[in-house]
Structure 1
């Protein structure tokens, strides 16, 4: 399914929180139908990279192109309308709204790829097949769900926007093993439907299950890039940048 068509590309991406520079000249690409892991220890700059790509950092510099559009200086809603989905680590479900209402909030029109092929279209019914837990509680308020269920709801709400590519921040962080398993299945299912994913992840086992390629960040710089299989086989890189 993977093609050489680059959907998202960042060049010399730099980012700041206040006066502190967090990212230094990050270059990365994600192609159509590809799952790419952005790996590194806590504080390496993974979440900041995703926020910089979608436009949630107050100060960033560098070139970002998505689906042929320059989004280097765009607000997050511009990228979202172009089909770039973002699932933040802190979930941000609307706690007073039900599952169905949360999904409705994320809804965007169907999309086509540049070659005319229809992009995956998501409906609540389709999402309930992907996330059976959510299907059992369509009327439950977001505030009365477990952390793992909220995590799924955030992903499902993002998919209602019919994204070409999803930025997924720490999907396996702090959720029960059974949910981690479902997250992995979900990512593989999305990939099989042609959706691309850039995920920030610390968990090597999880990243190996789902990813084609990996970038490894350390102190806001990319120290390694290669296929996931090469990273899994490279003990020196793993010890230097990933082991706790």
Structure 2
């Protein structure tokens, strides 16, 4: 069945209203435009994100159900505490954004390709340079073994992707991220769409309308640039 999608203008970073998003596939809202910093910030500020495969036009989504981690959802369990001590792990912010996004873009097992295409990587590097996109890294001594990246809108962190080279290191990166956010007075993490891994970690599903209200509440406040300077999150390790 043919579907109609609004095509975005190259000169206008506005988006259609969210109630125009399709129900099948769920949340598909528009196509085209570009991945400029201005358009991406406009998108995330309106509960919209890009997601497309190689050979496709840029596709923009706002699904009817969002996965989020509420404050205090993510904690260091016994397994993580043992791994921190055993492997001498440390967590950091923004020490290796480029490396994190490369690792996230690497094809996963049983997946022939990646949606984090070179143009996507370039776009989020631009956001990082402008202070909007951030990474959390997990280090085993000097080796990067896990991490995640995403976009900060006010005090709401919109997660994009994560990876691990050692079991549980993506979970540890999530714990470290929420720890950092709660130091700044919030703690909410948007994970876009629910999946089994996120649900196992405690993510809850909320409606698009509830997510928009959350975004309005926390997206209007800001943190300082110093809060996201490259630094180690020693408090995470010291809780072990």
Q: TM-score, normalised by structure 2?
A: 0.32
Q: TM-score, normalised by structure 1?
A: 0.31
Bigger RCO of structures 1 and 2 (CA < 8 A, at least 6 apart): 1
